[in-house]
Structure 1
Amino acid sequence: MIPNSEFLKGKKGLVVGIANEHSIAAGCAQVFRASGAELCITYQSEKSRKFVKPVAEAVGAGLFLPLDVTDLVQTDQVFAAIEEKWGQLDFLLHSIAFCPREDLHGRVVDCSQEGFGLAMDISVHSLIRLAKRAEPLMVAGGTILTVSYHGADKVVDHYNIMGPVKAALEATTRYLSVDLGPRNIRVNALSPGPLETRAASGIDHFDALIEDAKTRAPLHRLTTIAEVGSMAACLVSDFARSVSGNTAYIDGGHHVI
């Protein structure tokens, strides 16, 4: 169930990383909008546009723009459009991860230099690039969120090289929180349990991760994208104005097992 209140009324947010209506970022966008925020939604390519457009329409996105985070010109264009339309940005959700399939499905020790570099650039450095552009628009402070996973802390079977990549993402979150704290910009990571999304389906033996979460998590069920969205909405709201540099687990308690 998506909460329906106005505690984000007046806030403007950028949501990056929606692949389709089942994405974590889509769940967050739905709760952001239900909580009163106005949104800019991006899509990665023309091929993905048709899958993201229904989400953008459902949340009444004020801006719907292409954004390949490896394209610096396109990145600048997105923030220029936000500045022109709103003159400010209150929050940013970065929900992006990528690794070439052959590197993702192999042992960490076998990961190629090229594959590791690409995974780090798209999954981690893209957060830094977006944060740098968001900073001058967060004139009254703001919040930056990214999406991690328990495999950043513990070795999870078949998560492979994405474990070290997510560990780097969480460390980056902490360092950004210190860099941007003087501007009253808070930076936090969301860490959901395994979810049946298109991105997660690329992980080898993903069904086993799903079953493990259902069996071993204290709540004995999977998290939903709406529940992740509820945590995200709380973190970008004034209710969490003293929370920064944190990794918030939304996994039914699975991370404590």
Structure 2
Amino acid sequence: MADSDPAVLVDRDTVDPAVAVLTLNRPATYNALSVDLKETLLTAVAGVAGDESVRAVVLTGSGRAFCVGQDLGEHAAALRADAGTALDTVREHYNPLVLALSGTPKPVVAAINGPCVGAGLGLALAADLRVAAAGATFGTAFTGIGLSADSGLSASLAHAVGVSRATELLLLGERFTAEDARDWGLVRDVVDGPDLLESALVLARTLATGPTRAYAEVKSAIRFGAVNELPAVLEHEADAQVRLATTADHRGAVEAFVAKRTPTFEGR
């Protein structure tokens, strides 16, 4: 990657242009999260979230890694300059990034092509679905440098694998394999490396042709349900169903079912 290359590549799937592909593009650093990469990724996520022509998103990394987390070279310099402000990046960058990825109404598929560590794991878990390449490795890594978790991992990892295993992974920081991640429910599938992007794209294409308004409500309901009591969750679900009842996608799908036709969805 040349200095002039963008830190994040934004492309469209050639088969279905409704699928946007965001690629972390610092391969020489294993896509370590520099300030430039974090800010560029946040802009890219906001861009596809606000683009009505985008109905699904794939997030992946260039080169041999998905993302190894914070750029420690930048972090070391920040510590030397002022340790008291060195981790302001958590509030300035990581929190907005995780909220943007998890909060976008578009379904997001993470294609994990290699090492996925620290805040890189946080970004992957902020996606809705994940596919990993065989040989990809995962880890939390924070305690290895004397830190606790950020990028939402204290919640997202516990929700994904349970409190006991999340505690073990965060305290010990031990690496785990793509097959472990699949067995624990962190990733949907493990595929050969050369097939990874196409596998993620196939999944994203399927989502892009689906009821995207309903998908947005599902994402919202899951986030709400993770932190609220059952009565509030039931009300949230009821409100969502009322909103969806007025959509063309729902009305058309019901009529298609009655007529024994396959429904088509337009996201409206």
TM range (shorter): 0.3 to 0.5
Q: Looking at CA atoms only, which structure, 1 or 2, has the larger radius of gyration?
A: 2
Normalised to the residue count of structure 1, the TM-score between the two structures is 0.33
Normalised to the residue count of structure 2, the TM-score between the two structures is 0.32
